[in-house]
Amino acid sequence: MADLALRQNGRLLVRRPGLVLSVLVLAAVLLAAFAPALFTSYDPIAGVPAERLQGPSAAHLFGTDETGRDVFARVVHGASLSLRATVLAVLVALIAGAALGLLAGFRGGWADALVMRVVDVLQAVPAILLSLALVTGLGFGTTNVAIAVGVANLAAFARLMRAEVLRVRTGVFVEAARAGGVRWTGVLTRHVLPHALGPVLVLATITFGTAVLEVSALSFLGFGATPPTPEWGALVAGGRNFLATAWWMTTFPGLTVAAVVLAANRLSRAFDGERSGR
């Protein structure tokens, strides 16, 4: 049995190495977010002035910054805030967008028209610009950044959920439930929602990569956590003035963001392929 499982895992690694690598990257980032001490023993806040602006080495894998802080430790500890904001943003977009789409598709009439006009307005503005406008009004902070990014991305969830509800509610099983005297709340929660939710969850995995970029962009602009708390976007911004002399301060946090986004997108394509039967 163990040999069979090993052979199957080996075939998966040979046939889909990108997917396996993506899973490993995301697993490592999640582990770093919850248990950073497993990856580094350095303090991400306190620096050693005598070790300032040292290049990558065995002692400091990603080098040190202008105050002697270990960049690798700051990237690892920054995973917690960055991923927390990203997950919160996706949840806001998923829950709010799915609720609006469910209301529009199931109720129809004036509710459908109102929700779709709101969705049209949201989709008329690029998500990053809308996020920037919202977080300017909400104020600084990781939570506000997450809420702004979530609201800016909910339109796609609302539109997809509405389309799925319109498809599902005409099914024979829904008509049979209505004819059997099931209340509309029961039809909605037991028959319509479970069958319409699958594609929306796939969209959530796709949106995760986009949300990482948008959260990091707002953090880069200074709307995230207050310094010296490490956050990926803020780490990239902090190294801008040292690109000529300490390229590692910007390069390694930026590569971390890129790796997470690429891994999330690869995983979402795999989920979408499984759902479509490809």
User: Domains of the chain by range and CATH?
Assistant: 22-28+61-276 (1.10.3720.10)
Q: Give the separation between CA 240 and CA 95, rounded to whole angstroms.
A: 37
Nearest alpha carbon to residue 228 among 83, 36, 43 = 43
Residue 154 contacts residue 211 (beta carbons within 8 Å): no
- Tokens 């002399």 — which residue? 245
Residue 203 contacts residue 160 (beta carbons within 8 Å): yes
Tokens of 60: 């400091």
Four-residue CA torsion sign, 212, 217, 223, 229: positive
Cα 263–Cα 264–Cα 266 angle in degrees, nearest 5: 65
Model pLDDT, residue 139 = 84
The rounded Cα 243 to chain-centroid distance in angstroms is: 28
Q: Which residues pair with 64 in a beta bridge?
A: 70
41 to 36, 54, 74: CA distances (angstroms): 8, 18, 11
Model pLDDT, residue 112 = 84
Residue 102 contacts residue 161 (beta carbons within 8 Å): yes
pTM for the model: 0.85
Model pLDDT, residue 7 = 56
Model pLDDT, residue 21 = 87
Q: Which amino acid is at 200?
A: V
Four-residue CA torsion sign, 267, 268, 274, 277: negative
DSSP code, position 189: I
Nearest alpha carbon to residue 69 among 271, 227, 191 = 227
Model pLDDT, residue 2 = 47
Q: Give the separation between CA 230 and CA 184, rounded to whole angstroms.
A: 48
Q: Give the separation between CA 207 and CA 187, rounded to whole angstroms.
A: 29
Model pLDDT, residue 256 = 94
Per-residue pLDDT of the chain (278 residues; tens, 9 = 90+): 445 444 554 555 557 777 888 889 999 999 998 899 899 889 899 888 888 999 999 989 999 999 999 999 999 999 988 999 999 999 999 999 988 988 888 777 888 889 889 888 888 888 888 898 899 888 888 889 999 999 999 999 999 988 888 887 766 666 666 656 656 666 666 667 777 788 888 888 889 989 999 999 999 988 988 888 889 999 999 888 888 889 999 999 999 999 999 998 888 887 766 555 54
268 to 66, 90, 275: CA distances (angstroms): 38, 14, 11
Tokens of 72: 């690798």
Model pLDDT, residue 184 = 61
Residue 196 contacts residue 161 (beta carbons within 8 Å): yes
Model pLDDT, residue 6 = 46
